[in-house]
């Protein structure tokens, strides 16, 4: 109970820090009139997108809310769930909204600050990223605190239960179902945003760069604003909603597992306290992110890394005391925290190794361009596939360690609790990790504005340095997101099975992989990420196609556009991207929600368990592969642009551009969407477990 | 026991029929001197390749044989296993060898027969394919019969056992370990052959077609013979060894499961009898493969299909009586046979839908070339991913049906036996299925010879028609191969667990997916096909690179080559491909063999079980995706060549060529190799089960 007050305090600290950062960014000068005008256009476009998205999502939420309410009336759910579903969705969406608003406000300010010095540019972009990071963390903890106290009050005063064990059992069981709202919102944000951003990007490039031969981010390109809007709705709002969900999901499922493991209130305290302390460590870490003028890209990266590493080391030390105080007889749990922290850092570092052009793999990939685009594609795919080995081994070792150090050999449930704690450990410093990540698209947008407003060369150099670094942090951020999603998903699977046991303690579940329902569940689950990737890639293709047509039309019909005498109709491109994204995200979203229910109705709970395991395993591998292949293609192209293999405009460059274009939906749409898929399927399964059990008992 | 005589008869019938077909093909005229010369060069090259391959493989077999012998001395294995390992490898290799010899003999004869009529060309190519098909089936059954009678004799006379139950238990347990030899040989044939064929193909195309601008199959291209050799070593010998393994593996594992299910001798009789009857049905079916002059491609396809469908319907009828007689109290098993048969046909038909240019998906893919090679790549990948949905559902439904109709609800082992029977049902008409499949590369080679010897246009038209059809049958054959591999692998997993129970009946195995060792096994297994695909794709890239260098060198250094006055040095290209393939196939092969052993040593038998399930699930999905994407890219290019989207030489064509080049290693190297990976890991696990159990009991 006392730790929950700390969580509340952590929430307040995070939100206050986000507020301070927001004020600091807003106080910066937005620069010239022209810069403001472009920034406003991006901001308006992003606002228009979100408005429409929330309308579409609103309908979805309304329908699901009614379904959940009916299930609650039928006794298949607690009455809290439908409402918690709404709050989860609301807070997840709000995180994305605030992050995106800040980002669109910060882009011109970053460009302007960069005209003063590199360090100022870095500080502004990073501060804006921090708003996102700490809002996500703060709102997540707020949601947890709110529901914890509400449920606690309810089960002690309104509908009192007999024992403390029953009380916390009821609280965690209820809270476990909350993630579905956050998951659904995250899915829409990621898939919709991902389609939007890449459709605009591909559309702008195909007609502007390739056909018309004008540079990237040229203001004459009608899709250029949509491209910038896309960075914000996809990479900022989408990423925020995604990690909101992992964060809350890992904490809640670990709490639920604590009850199953018999750790009681103190077991719940550990993830809560870790989260609260993580906020403070993250805030502390942000003060170390600074650089000096003329810093190389490596220096810049070090600046960002110092912050994250200091936070990680700090939480590693503090969490020892947390475990020591709360679970003195199970000090092994501390090593679960450590293993999660180390795994998160290791996956991030490996992602950088595979996708940064400072290392062999990407350099070799850019050399493949010597023999044409086909070898670039084959090379990138095989690089991506190869890069899955180490993360799988890392996750495997981390899970095994967490399980056994927490006492899994004696008690199965204690081991699973350890796995959950390792996910919380990995995500504990999310505030600063996410800040580093959200920094990327902000710097990217700042570079765009510098380009469009023809700022002096030295400013562009600085924004380019910031932007280029953003590519690396975006790639490591994706590695971290998928790694944490996989471990969170494992905790959720364990919670699911636990939940089924609670619903019907007499139900015999044969979860062996030789049980055909489990096996078929595995097969369907293994296929699901492929289906999901196919649909999202297709969606990008279709949406981009409509942008291509529109941009060509504007080039043809607006006289004086190419000479810079007339302005293109930016809004129509933004509008088309918005419409396409909204329409095309529906099919993948419905499949993600419907599959676990359908599999459950046909194959029962064991089939669902197989499905979840299959989706997590294949989803993890496929997402890592897609993200890393995409990142490597992007940087292989940049490596050539920096002068290797003939430089910009050479045949090698053209071959590398093909790789980059293929990589766009890989790394920014399909890959990240799979993160959410694996968590959402678990969440839906947990919420609908009552229904599935009831149907199969009929 | 009586059914084993029938199996012996079936083996003799298959081999006799293969012999007759071989004589018939040999009796055909090989055509002009020039045709003979080229055919001889291909034949010599293929022979040289196989010689070297068998040398490398010989070392591998010798080492493993010694290891197995040591394990036998240590009491971890039966003494039969090391020797059975050798016979399995020998027969699997021999099947490939005979098939390839026939194919290289048949190529000029097919071209020559096509100069007389389309039907004659079809008959010769198909007859040559039949030699392959029936040799595989005949040798497979011969191996089974030989060992059955040897073991039966041993355990009744040399080392007599008390009861019949013990007798058949010993026989099947021993036979189960035989597949590892066949699997290993298949792996080398598939991976080595796959690297060879695609390195030659890509190398020949990149320099010849793209750089020098000479047509495909032009005799001036130094890599052209290597390209033709590749078709034989990869698509004929590799495919033969692969399916030999599925065929024998499914029969043996079903027999072993029959003992576990308590069906005894009659239970073993069903798969044996199905196989024996399948030979006769297949032979009968071959007589219906004929066409008339001027037949459209659809007619040609119908000609081949009629044969396979008649065989399938016949076995569907006959197997009813087989089950009725042998297992009258379990007539449900018959429906398992049916479900396997139907699933095989359905997967084949679906593969055709996704990869043939007569249908929407491939047509749409070729339309994607309008916006460049990047959209072709994205489109092909998403087509491949989408095409995994239906096969997964088909396999799922088929497994579920087979399990429950065979009594899985009452007895777990009876259900698993049903799954095994469905795999045998699917593979029962392998003779004709494989004939249809091996027909493809023969027709392809015949087309090459017609092109190189400048035969009249009408002959080329006929060989083109035959070749184009070969692409479709190759694609459906691949679908069938992977579908049967997946179900066979499931039967093998069940046999593995059964085997562990036999080794130590007291061992408690928690195979639930919540057990962390199972879960981590699943993760590693899910990653393995990705690693395997990456290594094999890289191998093709590296090998192709060396061919590119060599072809460029010859163009530069051999004076008069381009004018047709001097001959290129074909042999050096063949030699380089051979060397590269031999060297580069080692890493993937060793990984496939070592992973289950390493995982077993670290995680124990439950980890291995997870590994096998993970590899089967992800391997199936990835193999289907790669095969179908590759097939669709190939045919999308052909569709454009036939006149769509600007035809040959247009920008669309160039974009489609990029897709085709990426698809080459997808469909002919990595995809098919994964088939073997999933079976080989199971086989290795079964053979090394004794070691793993012993180590973990220490």
Q: Inform me whether the pLDDT recorded for A294 exceeds 80.
A: no
Q: Do B541 and A210 touch (CB under 8 A)?
A: no
Q: Do A494 and B513 touch (CB under 8 A)?
A: no
Which domain covers residue B510, as residue numbers? 2-694
What are the φ and ψ backbone dihedral angles of A512, each rounded to 5 degrees?
-65, 150
Which among B373, B516, B538 is the nearest to A408, CB-wise?
B516
Nearest to A217 by CA among A549, A657, A33, A230: A230
Q: Inform me whether the pLDDT recorded for A417 exceeds 90.
A: yes
Q: Inform me whether the pLDDT recorded for A168 exceeds 90.
A: no
Continuous segment of H or E residues that includes residue A28: none
Q: Inform me whether the pLDDT recorded for B177 exceeds 80.
A: no
Q: Which residues pair with B512 in a beta bridge?
A: A512
The rounded distance, in Å, linking the Cα atoms of A128 and A133 is: 9
Nearest to B675 by CA among B600, B595, B615: B615
Residue B213 Cα, gap to closest chain A Cα (Å): 16
pLDDT on residue A40:
86
The percent of residues in chain B predicted with pLDDT above 90, rounded, is 41
Q: Quick one: A615 exposed, middle or buried, by C-beta within 10 A (0-12, 13-18, 19+)?
A: buried
A210 vs B contacts (CB less than 8 Å): 372
Count of C-beta atoms within a 10 Å radius of residue B79: 12
Nearest to B111 by CA among B96, B122, B100: B122
Assign B336 a pLDDT band (cuts: 50, 70, 90): very high
Assign B685 a pLDDT band (cuts: 50, 70, 90): very high
Q: Inform me whether the pLDDT recorded for A296 exceeds 80.
A: no
pLDDT on residue A422:
94
The rounded distance, in Å, linking the Cα atoms of B428 and B585 is: 31
pLDDT average, residue stretch B239-263: 88
Instruction: Give Cβ neighbours of residue B698 (< 8 Å, ≥ 6 apart).
Output: none
Which among A511, A526, A534 is the nearest to B382, CB-wise?
A534
pLDDT on residue A596:
96
pLDDT average, residue stretch A533-561: 86
pLDDT average, residue stretch B26-52: 86
pLDDT on residue B297:
65
Q: Inform me whether the pLDDT recorded for A1 exceeds 70.
A: no
The rounded distance, in Å, linking the Cα atoms of B42 and B49 is: 10
The rounded distance, in Å, linking the Cα atoms of B87 and B142 is: 11
Mean pLDDT of chain A: 88
DSSP B406: T
Q: Do B375 and A538 touch (CB under 8 A)?
A: no
Q: Do B617 and A522 touch (CB under 8 A)?
A: yes
Nearest to A202 by CA among A433, A194, B658: A194
Q: pLDDT tens digits, residue range A169-210? A: 888 888 887 788 888 888 888 888 888 888 888 888 777 777
B253 vs A contacts (CB less than 8 Å): none
A655 vs B contacts (CB less than 8 Å): none
Residue B408 Cα, gap to closest chain A Cα (Å): 9
Is the model more confident about B178 or about A138? Answer: A138
| Helical axes B430-452 vs B80-114, angle rounded to 10° | 50
Instruction: Give Cβ neighbours of residue B63 (< 8 Å, ≥ 6 apart).
Output: none
Closest residue of B to A380, CA-based? B534
Q: Inform me whether the pLDDT recorded for B529 exceeds 90.
A: yes
Contact A248, A178 (CB under 8 A): yes
The rounded distance, in Å, linking the Cα atoms of A323 and A406 is: 11
Residue B549 Cα, gap to closest chain A Cα (Å): 11
Nearest to B106 by CA among B224, B7, B22, B227: B22
Instruction: Give Cβ neighbours of residue B250 (< 8 Å, ≥ 6 apart).
Output: B271, B420, B423, B424, B426, B427, B484, B487, B488, B491
Contact B678, B486 (CB under 8 A): yes
Q: Inform me whether the pLDDT recorded for A56 exceeds 90.
A: no
pLDDT on residue B553:
86
pLDDT on residue A297:
66
Q: Do A412 and B610 touch (CB under 8 A)?
A: no
Testing the interface with A: which of B194, B371, B494, B527 to mutate, by most A Cβ within 10 A? B527
Closest residue of A to B491, CA-based? A514
Q: What secondary structure, in 3-state letters, does B657-688 show?
A: HHHHHHHHHHHHHHHHHHHHHHHHHHHHHHHH
Instruction: Give Cβ neighbours of residue A361 (< 8 Å, ≥ 6 apart).
Output: A353, A354, A355, A383, A386, A387, A632
Q: Do B617 and A621 touch (CB under 8 A)?
A: no
B373 vs A contacts (CB less than 8 Å): 373, 658
Q: Do A377 and B377 touch (CB under 8 A)?
A: yes
Q: Do B523 and A494 touch (CB under 8 A)?
A: no
Q: pLDDT tens digits, residue range B571-629? A: 888 888 888 888 888 889 889 999 999 999 999 999 999 999 999 999 999 999 999 99
The maximal CA–CA distance of chain B, rounded, in angstroms, is 79
Is the model more confident about B38 or about B399? Answer: B399
Count of C-beta atoms within a 10 Å radius of residue A429: 32
Q: How many contacts, defined by CB atoms under 8 Å, are there between A and B?
A: 217
Continuous segment of H or E residues that includes residue B344: helix B332-355
How far is Cα of residue B467 from the mean position of the Cα atoms in its chain? 19
Q: Inform me whether the pLDDT recorded for B4 exceeds 80.
A: yes
Choose the most confident range, by mean pLDDT, from A524-538, B428-442, B455-469: A524-538
pLDDT on residue A524:
96
Radius of gyration of chain B (CA): 24
**3-class DSSP assignment, residue A512:** strand
Q: pLDDT tens digits, residue range B142-174? A: 999 999 999 999 999 988 888 888 888 888 888
Torsion of CA A407, A408, A411, A413, to 10 degrees: 110
Is the model more confident about B662 or about A233? Answer: B662
pLDDT on residue B315:
95
DSSP for A349-415, written as a single string: HHHHHHH-TTSHHHHHHHHGGGG-HHHHHHHHHHHHHHTTHHHHHHHHHHHHHHHHHTTTTT-HHHH
Which alpha helices (H) appear in B558-585, and where do they start and end?
Answer: 570-584
Closest residue of B to A377, CA-based? B662
Instruction: Give Cβ neighbours of residue A434 (< 8 Å, ≥ 6 apart).
Output: A129, A132, A133, A136, A137, A239, A240, A243, A477
Q: pLDDT tens digits, residue range A468-507? A: 787 778 778 888 888 888 988 888 898 899 889 888 888 8
Q: Do A524 and B393 touch (CB under 8 A)?
A: yes
Nearest to A343 by CA among A266, A422, A409: A422
Which among B210, B541, B609 is the nearest to A378, CB-wise?
B541
Q: Is B241 left (phi over 0), alpha (psi -120 to 50) or beta?
A: alpha
Q: Inform me whether the pLDDT recorded for A212 exceeds 90.
A: no
Testing the interface with B: which of A407, A527, A673, A696 to mutate, by most B Cβ within 10 A? A527
Q: pLDDT tens digits, residue range A609-661? A: 999 999 999 999 999 999 999 999 998 998 998 888 888 888 889 899 899 98
pLDDT on residue B56:
83
Q: Do B513 and A403 touch (CB under 8 A)?
A: no
Count of C-beta atoms within a 10 Å radius of residue B156: 12
Residue A352 Cα, gap to closest chain B Cα (Å): 19
Tallying the residues shown for chain B, one arrives at 698
Assign B245 a pLDDT band (cuts: 50, 70, 90): confident
Residue A524 Cα, gap to closest chain B Cα (Å): 6
pLDDT average, residue stretch A581-607: 92
Q: Do A530 and B383 touch (CB under 8 A)?
A: no
Nearest to A631 by CA among A484, A486, A468: A468
The percent of residues in chain A predicted with pLDDT above 90, rounded, is 41
pLDDT on residue A519:
93
**3-class DSSP assignment, residue B512:** strand
pLDDT on residue B619:
96
The rounded distance, in Å, linking the Cα atoms of B475 and B440 is: 10
Q: What predicted TM-score, i.e. pTM, was given to this entire model? A: 0.94
DSSP A558: S
pLDDT on residue B295:
66
Instruction: Report the number of distinct structural domains present in chain A.
Output: 1
Q: What secondary structure, in 3-state letters, does B217-235 show?
A: CCCCCCCHHHHHHHHHHHH
Nearest to A25 by CA among A137, A129, A180: A129
The rounded distance, in Å, linking the Cα atoms of B226 and B581 is: 12
**3-class DSSP assignment, residue A551:** helix
pLDDT on residue A363:
93
The rounded distance, in Å, linking the Cα atoms of A288 and A310 is: 8
The rounded distance, in Å, linking the Cα atoms of B530 and A626 is: 12
Contact B21, B138 (CB under 8 A): no
Assign B294 a pLDDT band (cuts: 50, 70, 90): low
Q: Inform me whether the pLDDT recorded for B314 exceeds 90.
A: yes
Which among A381, A400, A658 is the nearest to B516, CB-wise?
A400
Count of C-beta atoms within a 10 Å radius of residue A259: 24
Q: Inform me whether the pLDDT recorded for B96 exceeds 90.
A: no
The maximal CA–CA distance of chain A, rounded, in angstroms, is 79
What are the φ and ψ backbone dihedral angles of A221, each rounded to 5 degrees?
-80, 120
Residue B383 Cα, gap to closest chain A Cα (Å): 7
B499 vs A contacts (CB less than 8 Å): none
Residue A184 Cα, gap to closest chain B Cα (Å): 23
pLDDT on residue B65:
93
Q: Do B516 and A378 touch (CB under 8 A)?
A: no
The rounded distance, in Å, linking the Cα atoms of B624 and A615 is: 17
Pair of tokens at residue B268: 């073993």
DSSP A569: -
């Amino acid at each position: 109970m006392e730790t929950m007050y700390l969580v509340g305090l952590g929430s307040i600290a995070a939100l206050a820090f986000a507020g301070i950062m927001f004020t600091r960014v807003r106080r910066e000068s937005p620069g010239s009139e022209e810069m403001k005008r472009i920034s406003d256009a991006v901001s308006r476009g992003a606002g228009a997108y979100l408005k429409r998205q929330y309308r579409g999502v609103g309908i979805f939420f309304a329908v699901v809310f009614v379904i959940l309410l009916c299930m609650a009336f039928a006794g298949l759910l607690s009455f809290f769930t439908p409402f918690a579903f709404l709050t989860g969705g609301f807070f997840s969406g709000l995180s994305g909204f605030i992050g995106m608003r800040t980002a669109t406000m910060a882009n011109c300010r970053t460009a302007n600050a960069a005209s003063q010095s590199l360090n100022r540019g870095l500080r502004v972009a990073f501060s804006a990223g921090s708003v996102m990071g700490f809002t996500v963390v703060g709102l997540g903890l707020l949601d947890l605190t709110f529901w914890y106290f509400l449920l606690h009050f309810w089960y002690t005063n309104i509908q009192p239960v007999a024992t403390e064990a029953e009380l916390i059992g009821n609280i965690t069981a209820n809270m476990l179902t909350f993630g579905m709202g956050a998951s659904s919102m995250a899915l829409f944000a990621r898939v919709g945003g991902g389609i939007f951003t890449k459709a605009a990007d591909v559309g702008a490039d195909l007609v502007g760069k390739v056909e018309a031969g004008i540079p990237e981010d040229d203001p004459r390109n009608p899709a250029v604003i949509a491209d910038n809007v896309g960075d914000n709705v996809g990479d900022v709002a989408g990423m925020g909603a995604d990690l909101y969900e992992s964060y809350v999901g890992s904490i809640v499922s670990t709490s639920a597992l604590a009850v199953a493991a018999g750790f009681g209130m103190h077991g719940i305290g550990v993830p809560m306290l870790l989260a609260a302390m993580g906020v403070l460590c993250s805030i502390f870490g942000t003060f170390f992110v600074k650089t000096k003028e003329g810093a190389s890209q490596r220096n810049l990266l070090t600046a960002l890394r110092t912050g994250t590493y200091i936070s990680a080391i700090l939480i590693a030390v503090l969490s020892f005391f947390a475990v020591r105080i709360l679970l003195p007889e199970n000090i092994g749990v501390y090593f679960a925290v450590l293993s999660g922290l180390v795994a998160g850092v290791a996956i991030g570092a490996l992602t950088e190794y595979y996708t940064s052009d400072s290392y062999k793999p990407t350099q070799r990939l850019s050399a493949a361009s010597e023999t044409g685009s086909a070898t670039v594609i084959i090379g990138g795919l095989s690089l991506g596939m190869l890069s899955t080995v180490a993360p799988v081994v890392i996750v495997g070792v981390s899970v095994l360690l967490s399980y056994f150090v927490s006492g899994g050999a004696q008690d199965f449930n204690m081991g699973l609790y350890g796995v959950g704690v390792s996910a919380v450990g990995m995500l504990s410093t999310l505030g600063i990790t996410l800040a580093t990540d959200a920094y990327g698209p902000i710097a990217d947008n700042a570079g765009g504005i510098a380009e469009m407003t023809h700022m002096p060369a030295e400013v562009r150099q600085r924004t380019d340095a910031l932007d280029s670094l953003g590519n690396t942090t975006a790639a490591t951020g994706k590695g971290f997101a998928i790694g944490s999603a996989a471990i969170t998903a494992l905790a959720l699977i364990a919670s699911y099975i636990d939940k089924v046991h609670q619903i019907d303690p007499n139900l015999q579940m044969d979860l062996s992989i030789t049980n055909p329902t489990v096996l078929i569940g595995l097969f369907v689950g293994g296929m699901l990420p492929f289906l999901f990737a196919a649909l999202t890639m297709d969606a990008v293709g279709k949406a981009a196609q409509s942008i291509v047509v529109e941009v060509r039309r504007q080039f043809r019909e607006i006289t004086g556009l190419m000479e810079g005498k007339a302005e293109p109709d930016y809004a129509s491109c933004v509008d088309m991207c918005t419409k396409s994204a909204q329409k095309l995200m529906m099919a993948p979203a419905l499949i993600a929600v419907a599959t676990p229910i359908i599999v459950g109705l046909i194959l029962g709970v064991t089939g669902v368990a197989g499905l979840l395991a299959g989706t997590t395993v294949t989803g993890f591998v496929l997402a890592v592969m897609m993200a890393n292949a995409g990142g490597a293609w992007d940087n292989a192209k940049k490596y050539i642009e920096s002068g290797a293999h003939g430089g910009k405009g050479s045949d090698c460059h053209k071959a590398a551009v093909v790789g980059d274009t293929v990589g766009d939906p890989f790394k920014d749409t399909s890959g990240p969407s799979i993160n959410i898929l694996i968590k959402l399927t678990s969440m839906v399964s947990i919420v609908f477990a009552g229904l599935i059990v009831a149907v199969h008992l009929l």
